[in-house]
Amino acid sequence: MSISDGLLILSGIFIFIVLISYINEKFVKLPSEIGLMTISLSISVVILLLDAFNITSMATFENVIHKLNLHDIILNGFLCFLLFSGAATIRLKDLTNDKLLIGSLSFVSTLISALIYASLAFVITKLIGISMSFIKCCVLGSIIAPTDPISAMSILKKAGLPNRLSIIMEGESLFNDGIAVALFLTFTSLLKETASSPSIIFIKVVGWNVIGSITVGCVVSIILFKLFKRTSLKHLEILISLAAVTTAYSISEKINVSAPSAAVVVGIFFATQMNKLHEDNESYYSNFYTFWNVIDKFLNAVLYILIGIVVLYLQSVDNFGIILISAIFASLIARYISILGPIALFSRNKNMNPKSYTLSIRKKELSAMSKLLTWAGLKGGICIALALGTRNIFSRDQYFFTLISTYAVVVFSTLIQGLTVRKVYERLKNNLH
């Protein structure tokens, strides 16, 4: 492909984003991310309908679709910048008050959710006649389990949630992406490895991913931030941040640790250290935040358009409707059960007066927070990317079962949960303290 062809494709992407964004702003009037995905999905459905009635042929689009390696585009292209951009707005002190809750939701709940979903998926596959081992169902569970940091940062912020709840949801979603990737790698390793004990493989892979990603993120950040704080050139600060996140991400990929977690560590490190340099004077870094906000908006737009296009990857299989509906319900059930323990143990608001914080109030708060965090646990691009990455691991039926299930959960959580999370919060807010 020549440089001119590359520029033509890039210009086409920009024009497509501009047109869809304009249509959404003037006519559809949905939140930008939801609007982009809805319009993109609608265009994809129209293409499928035209093909079904032989008005046009899918062959026109198939070459483009197969050339789009969305698994690599999202995981190895977009994700490091999106995670850094989101994490760079959160300082370490923001997470301190609810660190145990955020940590347990990120680590424990993600694992429990993956296993619960795997169990439900295992039953569903038996009922509809798809042969799928429990370990393969665990791979699917690790795909569905993580909440999406991009959705948390963009859609949920517009829902008007209190700062504490926003920080909890953002913090959880930033970290559990890395945990989900580690679980995905663990369960896929179990498919190939028969000599070692599953528990040993699990501990080794997850431990290596967590410790390795934190180490890489911290080391790269410490080295490059020394340059950052010694320069007064605004463009150089931005270049250093780009160098930091791409270096940490690429090193993590090379040594097989969780690259998404490394990107989050770099983002939080930079945000915390910048705050120490100039306290709360964020205007000092206005160029820095403006640049990353533009990157975030652009990549977000492309990501949600790509999610809409993924429907073209789907193929009709038996029990299509049952797979769609059961996937959504299984995801909500797994999410709800997985967060009950951490919320019961660590969600108590320390600012509440103990005398007025009675047992009945606490029970109502636990119920309300469990329901809200379940409904606000939006799924996104990383789920789609991981699902697309199972093509060479699963059989055809297993692959499309995984892809259809994942797509159903992502679309439902974005369109239905994303649009109604504010209403759910309004109904529950009197019991949240």
The residue ranges of every structural domain in the chain are 3-67, 71-294+329-431
DSSP state of 24: I
Q: Is 319 left (phi over 0), alpha (psi -120 to 50) or beta?
A: left
Which range, 43-57, 177-191, 303-317, has the best average confidence (pLDDT)? 177-191
Q: Closest by alpha carbon to 68, among 309, 296, 410, 295? A: 309
Q: What is the phi-psi region of residue 378: left when phi exceeds 0, alpha when psi lies from -120 to 50, beta otherwise?
A: beta
Which two structure tokens, joined as six digits, stand for 292?
A: 């990353």
Q: Give pLDDT tens digits for 119-142.
A: 999 999 999 999 999 999 999 999
**For residues 324 and 148, which has the higher predicted lDDT (pLDDT)?**
324
Q: Is the pTM of this model over 0.85?
A: yes
Give the Cα separation of 228 and 217 in Å (integer): 16
Residue 349 pLDDT exceeds 60 = yes
Backbone phi, psi, residue 326, to 5°: -65, -35
Which is more confidently placed, 40 or 160? 40
Whole-number average pLDDT of the chain: 85
Cβ neighbours for 398, distance < 8 A, ≥ 6 positions apart: 130, 131, 132, 136, 390
Q: What is the chain's Cα-based Rg?
A: 22
Cα–Cα distance for residue pair 141/73, rounded to 1 Å: 22
Q: Are 74 and 385 in contact (CB under 8 A)?
A: yes
Architecture of the 71-294+329-431 domain: Up-down Bundle (1.20)
Q: Which of 159-163, 191-195, 381-385 has the highest mean pLDDT?
A: 381-385
Output the six-digit token pair for 120.
Answer: 């439900």
